[in-house]
Amino acid sequence: MPDDSSVVLQKLIDRFPDGGPEVRRELLEHAMERLRRLTGKMLGQSFPSLQLHHDVDSVVHETWMRLLTALDETEPKTVQDFFRLAAHKIRQVLLNMVVRRQRLNREHSFPSTDSSNPFDPTLPSSQDPGKLLMWSEFHQRVENLEAEERQVFEMHYYLDIPQIQIANVLNLHRRQVSRLWLKAVDQVMIGTEDEVL
């Protein structure tokens, strides 16, 4: 059985109440490859210009620290709960990196001919500041969804979990999951449909 299988991860999660910090670290170690894949997807799809300054590992390492703190304060009950929390923390890290990059660019007036400048208007459209802002707003809107809508959206969009499986995990009817998904999409996809869907 692979070290990062859902069965292995669930056994570690089941040990949370009595396991202490060692179990939390062990969970993160076993989940590392899946965290890297999730981070790579979010970084590549939503924040391509950040790849000029950050690789997957740098995002994962910052997320790891946030997850350690979060797991001291909350105990996910399932593997899906854990990866929803992880997706939330990865999103926070990426949004913070955008803010830091914008601050650096304001503090240092890069010439537009500098190809290392992710805000250079001559760069491909996927790396221009307008699209970076659009993706930042998109992920911020995800943060602001109602709890059930955010759960469904995160599981389906970020984790690629089919809606029928989400219904089973959340103990909801399939039609209710579909309604929550559509409602979430209406709120987060404004102005981003061509890029996201």
Q: Where are the domains of the chain?
A: 6-143, 147-197
Burial per residue of 157-183, b for 16 or more beta-carbon CB atoms within 10 angstroms, e otherwise: bbbebebeebbebbebeeeebbebbeb
pLDDT at 52: 80
pLDDT for 109 equals: 53
* pTM across the whole model: 0.62
Compute CA 113 distance to the chain's CA centroid, rounded to the nearest angstrom: 32
- Per residue of the chain (197 residues), give pLDDT as tens: 677 788 999 999 999 888 888 899 899 999 999 999 999 988 888 788 788 888 888 888 889 888 988 898 888 999 988 998 999 899 888 888 888 777 776 766 544 434 443 333 333 444 455 566 666 777 778 888 898 998 888 888 777 788 888 888 888 898 898 889 888 888 887 655 444 44
State the Cα–Cα distance between residues 153 and 175, nearest whole angstrom.
14
Per-residue pLDDT, 31: 92
Give the per-residue pLDDT at 9: 92
Query: Number of C-alpha atoms within 13 angstroms, CB side, residue 197?
Result: 10
CA of residue 191 relative to chain centroid, distance: 20
Contact criterion met (CB below 8 Å) for 171 and 124: no
